[in-house]
A and B are shown apart, each in its own frame.
Chain A
Amino acid sequence: MTPPGTLMLEAVEIHRDYAMAGDAVHALRGLSLAVHEGDYVAIVGPSGCGKSTLLSLLGALDRPTRGAVRHRGRDVARLDDRAATDFRLRSVGFVFQRFHLLPMLTAAENVALPMAEAGVPPRERRARAAELLAYVGLGARTAHRPTQLSGGEQQRVAIARALANRPALVLADEPTGELDARTGTEIIQLFDRLNRDGTTLVVVTHDEELARAARRVVHMKDGAIVRDERLRD
């Protein structure tokens, strides 16, 4: 087992430029960031500062224009599509602002989807889906479809889905952005529990309560980190 505090994820001098209406938009400007095992990092900053772009690069959803993104020493920015997809499947869990559950599948089936892709046998994935849904407090809603669940419940299903293949790293993009304050607090508590149980979290958020719950807050502006503060160990 990797000892706590070991470097897990590292962005090294990454740039991300977009061509937009003939001009180059510099979303990230030589940003560097290191995330260690067991950490809980909140990335905050004004809209358009590059938070979501950074999260996409950390999760190999996108490639930097320049620079490297290393996960346990491996540059995931240089992986081909197949390898990058496999990296996302086995090493990272994603939580999105809008939940993004598949509407035609039940909660349990949504959670089982990444496991099916990873080749987990049906019986095992059914059992683990039920276990994960119980973990996020939805043990009684496994057969419900997303349309039959509240926003908070859908986000819990999305969190359970992110944990399906036991990733050590969960990346969340505005996970409380669509939720009311009370439901948002429940999700923050769930994230806290996740982190205490050993999952490394990187969360992009505008939610001050969520940012305060993290161990470390990274402030961004204009595609760069302007402040990196550790709130607690």
Chain B
Amino acid sequence: MRVALAVASLARHRTRTALAVAGIAVASAMLLDMVMLSSGMRLSFRELLDTRGYQVRLSPKGTLPFATEATVGDAAALVAAARAQPGVAVVAPNLGAQLVAPRGDGAVTVAALGVEAGVQGDYALREGRDAAAGELVASPAALAALGRRVGDTVSLGTGWDPQLRAFRELAPRRIVGVGRFYFLGADQPVVAMPLADLQATADGARRDRISSAMVRLAPGAEPAAVARALAAALPRVSVLTTADAVAQADERVAYFRNLAFILGSVSLAVGFLLVTTLMTVSVNERIGEIAVQRALGVQARRIVQQVVAEGLALSVAGGLLGLGLGLVTARYLDAILGDFPGLPPDIAFFVFQPRDAGTAMGLLVVAGTLAGILPSWRAARLPIAATLREEAVA
């Protein structure tokens, strides 16, 4: 009966109820988006790092993988030592550099990755095959920038000499595949080639050097324990587990979480105030009815239950509507933010998890409950005889 009364009360002012639900839906959509944003980047970054199953990363001491242009020498010995560690299954070394290619009167700069094709974890082949000596795999953006297709040959050098008006170390390389590069921007021209080929460029300055290495563990190996062993055995490199990397990335994007927290709190406050305002207006309109119910023997707590049920019904209806709205806006916002230059294609800002929807709904339910308690409690505690008398006069 209380639920039926709550529904009937809401149905009395359909336009007002619909507007309130719409308002709560907007607030809850914002709340859901902010909850998704607060955890989305972390989750997305972790998924990105886990893409190829590498749980530990090595980089020159004091740097993060590809955070600088630093490299570490004596790479073959380093990789061999890493591969010899207990619990290590695969080590994928890579070297990052920039190469240039003549195009028209100018030059096109591309990011180059030197990898070992059999173990590399930097790209997924979309077309063709992995590169052998003298060959390369290019990203779609690189193909577009170079004006080439799979099967074409492209000349790549290490730089442009303005005095000689010539490219340095220009060498032809055949494009044998198209790759989707996980860790570089979708719009960034990237090529991958055998590690030895890239190490041979720059007049030998890159010989036996790598930028980083990824380590895949043997089944059952504990990442933290292997990382500790690697750090002890390889003092020239920093060793990061995926959890460490996520934690470090988390610190770097703390402002996103703070922003999400503030905007989420504002959304929740707006939703709370909206329901409180509506319930206060609604209760004030029904003071006489509430006094009559109390006179007829309805307990104060039942009045509170009814009004709280109304607040809850509004919150749940608005929350469910806001769930759909939030997912649509999150997708739209993600597309806008995803276009930011240099972002890896698999990085998402808004990642939906059922837990997020549960959190947003839970917060709304709490807000809706609290919003109904105060006005209903006040109304239920009004002196019955005096209220009925005032209502009769009114």
Give chain A's interface residues, CB within 8 Å of chain B: 52-53, 56, 59, 61-62, 81-82, 85-90, 94, 96-98, 100, 102-105, 109, 112-114, 116-118, 161, 165
- Which segment, of B8-16, B228-236, B320-328, faces chain A? B8-16
List the A side residues contacting B289 at CB < 8 Å: 100, 102
Are the C-beta atoms of A117 and B388 separated by less than 8 Å? no
> Using Cβ atoms and an 8 Å threshold, which residues of chain A touch B281?
none
Is B297 a contact partner of A96 (Cβ separation < 8 A)?
no
Interchain residue pairs with CB less than 8 A apart (26): A56-B385, A59-B295, A61-B385, A82-B299, A85-B299, A87-B297, A88-B296, A88-B297, A89-B296, A90-B297, A96-B292, A96-B295, A98-B392, A100-B288, A102-B5, A102-B289, A104-B8, A104-B11, A104-B12, A105-B5, A113-B1, A113-B293, A114-B298, A116-B1, A117-B296, A117-B297
Q: Please tell me if B389 contacts chain A, counting CB pairs below 8 Å.
A: yes
Question: Residue-by-residue, is B272-315 near A (CB-CB < 8 Å gives 1, otherwise 0)?
Answer: 00000000000000001100111111111010000000000000
Q: Which of B9, B288, B391 contacts A104 (CB 8 A)?
A: B9
- Min Cβ gap B3→A in Å is 11
> Would A62 and B383 count as touching, CB distance under 8 A?
yes
Residues of A within 8 A of B269 (CB): none
Additional A-B contacts beyond A114-B297, A117-B297 (14; CB < 8 A): A62-B385, A82-B299, A88-B297, A89-B296, A96-B388, A98-B391, A100-B292, A102-B293, A104-B5, A104-B8, A105-B8, A113-B1, A117-B296, A161-B296
Q: Is there contact, CB below 8 Å, between B302 and A117?
A: yes
Q: Does B202 contact A (CB under 8 A)?
A: no
Residues of A within 8 A of B383 (CB): 62
- Tell me, yes or no, whether B145 is within 8 Å of chain A by CB: no
B107 at the interface (CB under 8 A from A): no
- When distances are taken between beta carbons in the complex, the residues of chain B under 8 Å from A89 are 296-298
Min C-beta distance of A123 to chain B, whole Å: 13
Closest 7 pairs between A and B when the two form their complex, measured CB to CB: A89-B297, A56-B385, A104-B8, A116-B1, A62-B385, A100-B292, A61-B385
Task: Specify which chain B residues have a CB less than 8 angstroms from the CB of A112 in the assembled complex.
Answer: 1
Using A100-B288, A102-B289, A104-B11 as known contacts, say yes or no to A114 and B384 having CB atoms under 8 A apart.
Answer: no
Distance in angstroms between the alpha carbons of A114 and B9 in the assembled complex: 18
- The interface residues of chain A lying within 8 Å CB-to-CB of B5 are 102, 104-105
